[in-house]
Amino acid sequence: MLPRISTDHCRKVPFRLLVTVTLLIQMACVGTTRRVYQYPSVRERTPPTPTQPEAPAPKAPAPPSEGGVPGGGAPSASSPAVVALRNDAQADLRNGNFDNAAASLERAIRIQPRNPMLWHDLAQVRLQQGQPGLAEDLAKKSNLHAQGQAALIRANWSIIAEARRRKGDAEGAAEAERKAAQ
């Protein structure tokens, strides 16, 4: 049950306040309307009529592999942007521009984060930059995504072995070399 409000109480509330509150509530409700987009029905859509039959687009050649990874081109699902960035990185590597190569590979990884060749290439760059700890981590990340690519996994273990050797971990380097030989 609701409590009974006396008429004296209602007279004490200023009329202007009630009007203001009512208007504010109405304005808040008006602002919440949404427009609903109507998708055209299947009958309304007309497919474009081709003027000429389309020829299949030529595939970009896989970039040459660096670091002796057998069959190490980019995966077949690489986008043209990733292929171009990887080519740029390899050109920068040949010219000794390690920072530019790393930047290109990092941009490619943002596009295709599950591409193990990109992680492998970046691990090689970091090793050449004198960052063995980071190179080891990147090679391990490449191995996580390189399921079924034995040659790439072996090449990553070689990077890990070299990185551990440069860090002074001879025992760890020997273990990584054993895994690379398997």
The range of the structural domain enclosing residue 139 comes to 80-181
**Residue 163 binned pLDDT confidence (cut-offs 50, 70, 90):** very high
Q: Identify the CATH number of the domain in which residue 118 sits.
A: 1.25.40.10
Residues 116-156: tens digit of each pLDDT: 999 999 999 999 999 999 999 999 999 999 999 999 999 99
Domain count, the chain: 1
Cβ-in-10-Å burial (0-12, 13-18, 19+) of 29 comes to exposed
The angle that helices 132-145 and 150-166 make with each other, rounded to 10 degrees, is 160
Q: Is residue 62 pLDDT above 60, yes or no?
A: no
Mean pLDDT of 70-75: 44
Within a domain: 129: yes
Residues 81-120: tens digit of each pLDDT: 999 999 999 999 999 999 999 999 999 999 999 999 999 9
Residues 31-50: tens digit of each pLDDT: 555 555 555 554 554 555 55
Predicted TM-score (pTM) of this structure: 0.59
